[in-house]
Amino acid sequence: MDQPNDILLSVENLQVHFIGDGPVARAVDGVDFKVHHQETVCLVGESGCGKTVTALAILGLLKQPPASIAGGRITFDGQSLLDMHQDELRALRGKRIAMVFQEPMTSLNPVFTVGDQIGETVLVHERVSTAEVRRRTIQLLDDVGIVDPQGRLGDYPHQLSGGQRQRVMIAMALACEPDLIIADEPTTALDVTVQAQILSLLKKLKQEKNMAIQYITHDLGVVAAIADRVYVMYAGVVVEQGTTGIIFGNARHPYTMALLDSLPTKKKRGQRLYSIPGSVPHPAYRPTGCPFHPRCKFREPSCEKAFPALCDYGKGHKARCPILFATQDRAEEAHA
């Protein structure tokens, strides 16, 4: 699995800072992750943990300033994205890496038909006739499960439902058969039944088109449904990573464990939910040492001082908590 040529995207020690009037906000503070070919990788975390900024940095969509990429490397298929010229990056975006955004109503242009908007992606990247563009657009709309694609071509975004709009967004992303789709909370604004449709669509398309998906979400239920591997982010760093089975069955970072414990389910009826005290720290005022220590029930004095190292549990499972790594028994106990 970990052959170097199998890796499609690798992000190493990425640091993105936002510089404004106040103190520097370190939105992404040393993030490492990899996406292999044809793999679904989830970045999961709460708002403000840096998931979206990471995605935007990959695509070179961050406005600089106020953002500044303070360090790290992003390598896509052997090429360094951060060293690329804008023109090269533009040729790559939409063609080999595509993005699906959270709110389809704000990311679709209200004054162009959906046919125009999907076709534009094809026209920008390939020299094809308009008839061919039309044929491909209809095919794409059909692929994403839109009923009567021919009739929908001339529709404007406001004429479509939320689920249909998100399908159009996905069709746009698929237009040039990219190797990687970055989906940033694509179902957060949708109803559960529509969310289920979109998730199954993404799963199906991934199989058919041999794509990799980098899926960004805060919803652990969605992660369990779609991911092959998971990276849990907190306060700009990856605190735990592993296969989906391990993260949900055998988490070893206090934050991941606490998140899973705090989810309400019908099995926990009558019991008190575990709630994580405090709130997510502001990116400009993060605690020293381990960013999670003020809210952690396993904290020890050393957590306030040293930034925790990534501890390796084998089989790709790593967690940034030396305390639990040293005292595995306590982790077992906490899990029981």
- List 3, 5, 130, 265, residue binding another protein (CB under 8 A): 265
Q: Which stretch binds another protein (CB under 8 A): 34-42, 82-90, 113-121, 223-231?
A: 223-231
Site for another protein in 34-63 (CB under 8 A): 46-47
Site for another protein in 65-124 (CB under 8 A): none
Name the strands in the sheet holding 79-80, side by side, starting at the edge strand that comes first in the sequence: 25-36, 7-18, 67-76, 79-80
Per-residue x/- track, 119-148, another protein (CB under 8 A): --------------------------xxx-
Rounded Cα gap, residues 240 and 44, in angstroms: 10
Q: Given the complex with another protein, which of 51 and 95 has the nearer CB atom?
A: 51
Rounded Cα gap, residues 26 and 112, in angstroms: 37
Q: Given the complex with another protein, which of 133 and 170 has the nearer CB atom?
A: 170
- DSSP alpha helix (H) spans, the chain: 51-59, 86-92, 104-107, 114-125, 130-143, 149-152, 162-174, 192-209, 220-226, 244-249, 254-262, 322-326, 328-335
CA distances from 251 to 31, 260, 318, 325 (A): 19, 9, 9, 11
Site for another protein in 191-210 (CB under 8 A): 191-197, 199-200, 203
Rounded Cα gap, residues 119 and 113, in angstroms: 10
Per-residue x/- track, 270-289, another protein (CB under 8 A): --xxxxxx-xx---------
Rounded Cα gap, residues 27 and 29, in angstroms: 6
Residue length of the chain: 336
CA distances from 85 to 46, 81, 99, 207, 296 (A): 32, 9, 19, 32, 43
Residue 137 CB-density burial (10 A; 0-12 exposed, 13-18 middle, 19+ buried)? buried
Residues 51/216, Cβ–Cβ less than 8 Å: yes
Q: Least distance (Å) from another protein to the CB of residue 67?
A: 23
Q: Given the complex with another protein, which of 172 and 202 has the nearer CB atom?
A: 202
Q: Least distance (Å) from another protein to the CB of residue 272?
A: 6
Q: Which stretch binds another protein (CB under 8 A): 1-9, 66-74, 216-224, 308-316?
A: 216-224
**334 lies in the binding site for another protein (CB under 8 A):** no
Q: Given the complex with another protein, which of 13 and 150 has the nearer CB atom?
A: 150
**250 lies in the binding site for another protein (CB under 8 A):** no
Q: Which stretch binds another protein (CB under 8 A): 6-14, 30-38, 242-250, 308-316?
A: 242-250
Q: Given the complex with another protein, which of 129 and 265 has the nearer CB atom?
A: 265
Residues that bind another protein (CB under 8 A): 46-47, 145-147, 163-164, 191-197, 199-200, 203, 218-225, 244-245, 248-249, 258-260, 262-266, 268-269, 272-277, 279-280, 295
